[in-house]
Amino acid sequence: MNRLKFGAFMAPYHKAGTNPTAALRRDLRTIDYLDEYGFDEVFIGEHHSSGGEWVASPEIFIAAAAERTKRIKLGTGVTSISYHNPLWVADRMIQLDHMTQGRAILGMGPGSLPSDSQMIGLNPTDTRELLEQNIDIITRLVRGEVVNAETRTHKLIDAQLQFAPYTPGGFEMAVAGVASPTGPRLAGKYGLGLMSIGATLTPEGFDALAHHWNVVEERAAEFGQRADRAAWRLVGPFHIAETEEQARKDVEFGIEHWFEYFQHVAAFPQMAVDGSNLKEMIEFIKNAGIGVIGTPEQAREQIQRLIDQSNGGFGSILNMHTDWANPEATQRSYELISQEVMPYFQGQVEPLKASEARARAGRDALAQQQLDAVDHMTKKYEAELAAKKS
């Protein structure tokens, strides 16, 4: 992989009881500076319950973000397509494809919170069974097909989209995967990107990285699709500062609330985090290899570790955006990632260091040439003055 892309995966998560209007505006400002700092993409989640993850419609959020930004790609991370009529999912994304002029990405999954699906009479088994059916329908619709299909929740009769995508061949699509092979199987079968949300969250997720891509390639070959590592995204949490001590101090702001949410509120056992006090929580993130609370160097080491484990590389690393730190420290973390992490994986460091090395090696000789030039011009000027006086 020549150039690793960087981005953020924003549920977004916030502490229940804080001002939702202000938090959503802050999330939009976060995307503003991600765009300014040169990040490639950001993904916005869909949730409807549990009080901690607030965006109900990633499409509406993306429409607002698109008007504020210039180049960053904006994806749903993910649209819980098992909750929706697949025709309307495809139609809304076609509209976003036009409104963003090709910057929209459809991330798809079954829905992570059982407290969401139970309100519409579905359980986690139902949503996973609906996932493949709806992916099949959506991909066919985007290709321009007329679809007749019936699922447990919807019936389509001569369904078709009324206008073509803005992006030639259709907007990019990806499917989420945690630890099981479900996501990789679907990514391979339908030629989609893969979002490995559980890449670092559990030992199983980390250990399964290379295996997951093998599944993608095997299924792609079986169904005549192309498996592209550039469309593979890994998700994990990072908060960095100038020193590890500062980073650990920063996350005292909100990491306990984040742990509390996944330990006792959200029925999402794939986010298995451990720790009963602040110190244990911070140590767990580090010792379990889940993420980085530390320095840019430690962030680079974590990313390289993931590249090595993937056995061939991947296309994007997405920071699992959190409110671990206050807004100012969070922004500084992203700024440091842009300045001191991204260049190492995008081919920008080596030419600069090589140029510095060449200048360093020749400095003494070149500095003497500068001094000789000054001496020469000084003597020349003195000679001119002497000539005028004579």
Given the structure tokens 């299909």, which residue do they identify?
Answer: 149
Among the ranges given (10-19, 182-191, 224-233, 256-265), the one the predictor scored with the smallest mean pLDDT? 256-265
Look at residues 226, 213, 209 and name the one whose alpha carbon lies nearest to residue 185: 213
Q: What is the pLDDT of residue 178?
A: 78
Q: What pLDDT score was predicted for residue 151?
A: 97
User: How far apart, in whole angstroms, are the C-alpha atoms of residue 289 and residue 78?
Assistant: 24
CATH fold, domain 5-347, is: TIM Barrel (3.20.20)
Rounded mean pLDDT of 298-303?
A: 97
pTM comes to 0.93
Does residue 178 or residue 106 have the better pLDDT? 106
50: left (phi > 0), else alpha (psi -120 to 50), else beta?
left
Q: How confident is the model at residue 267 (pLDDT cuts 50, 70, 90)?
A: low
Mapped to the 3 state alphabet, what secondary structure does the chain carry? CCCCEEEEEECCECCCCCCHHHHHHHHHHHHHHHHHCCCCEEEECCCCCCCCECCCCHHHHHHHHHHHCCCCEEEECCEEHHHCCHHHHHHHHHHHHHHCCCCEEEEEECCCCHHHHHHHCCCHHHHHHHHHHHHHHHHHHHCCCCEEEECCCCEEEEECCCCCCCCCCCCEEEEEECCCCHHHHHHHHHCCEEEECCCCCCHHHHHCHHHHHHHHHHHHHHCCCCCCHHHEEEEECEEECCCHHHHHHHHHHCHHHHHHHHHHHCCCCCCCCCCCCHHHHHHHHHHCCCCEEECHHHHHHHHHHHHHHHCCCCCEEEEECCCCCCHHHHHHHHHHHHHHCHHHHCCCHHHHHHHHHHHHHCHHHHHHHHHHHHHHHHHHHHHHHHHHHC
Whether the pLDDT of residue 226 is over 80: the answer is yes
Percent of the chain with pLDDT strictly greater than 90? 83
The reported pLDDT for the residue numbered 210 is: 75
Query: Which has more pLDDT, 317 or 182?
Result: 317
Widest CA span in the chain: 107
- 243-260 average pLDDT score: 94
Task: Report pLDDT digits (tens) over 74-84.
Answer: 999 999 999 99
- For residue 68, pLDDT over 80 is answered with yes
pLDDT band at 264 (very low <50, low <70, confident <90, very high): confident
> What is the band of 389 on the pLDDT scale with cuts at 50, 70, 90?
confident
Q: Find the mean pLDDT for residues 52-71.
A: 96
* Distance, CA of 176 to CA of 79 (rounded, Å): 10
Bridging pattern class, strands 232-236 and 316-320: parallel
Q: φ and ψ at 176, to 5 degrees?
A: -80, 150
- Asked whether residue 199 carries a pLDDT value surpassing 80, the answer given is no
Residue 179 phi, psi dihedral angles, 5° rounding:
-110, -25
pLDDT in the model for residue 112: 86
Is the pLDDT at 206 greater than 80? The verdict is no
Between 211 and 142, where is the model more confident? 142
